[in-house]
Amino acid sequence: MTDKKDPQNELEYLIDGARRELVSIGTLWQVLLRSEVYVLCDKEWDGRTADPSMKTLLMSPGKGEADLLAVFTAPVRAELALSKYGDYQKLVKVPGGLALHQLGGKLGIAVNPGGAFDMQMAPDAIDKLKQAFGLKPVGN
């Protein structure tokens, strides 16, 4: 059995490297775009098609700060959140690009919130990365 404190995949190695300033945020972003991530939902979802009635777990960092979409890099990272957030009991694997597409504007990202290999990005930082990578901002 793998220790939950050990990196589970390439993305987690890169998050660790970015923390130690060994990996650029651009490299991390590229891998996040092509990786599969996990989100907690309030109902079954195929992880690929839009469903406006579905709710995903959002984190609220503080008053006046933008909400953050909670994504997890591996199922083991979501275990704690599953026990904490009773309304979000469906763990769904989604392409990282799909999860990141909806970010920016007023929504940031919390990767592995409160756990190992966690990181946050505010909406303005995401908008800058999207622009640098030629991705459309939210609402366009």
**Model confidence over 86-139: pLDDT tens digits?**
889 999 999 888 888 777 788 999 999 988 899 999 898 888 888 887 777 665
Give 68-92 pLDDT, tens digit per residue.
999 999 999 988 788 888 889 999 9
| Tokens matching residue 34 | 């092509």
In this structure, the chain runs to a length of 140
As separate numbers, helices (DSSP H) first and strands (DSSP E) second, the chain gives: 5, 6
The three-state secondary structure class of 23 is: coil
| 8 A C-beta contact, residue 106 and residue 66 | yes
Q: CA–CA separation, 127 vs 122, rounded Å?
A: 9
Q: How confident is the model at residue 90, as a pLDDT?
A: 92
Closest CA to 47 of 10, 2, 7, 97: 97
Kindly report the pTM of this predicted structure.
0.87
Give 21-46 pLDDT, tens digit per residue.
999 988 998 899 899 999 999 998 88
Could you state, in order of their start, the residue ranges of all structural domains in the chain? 10-132
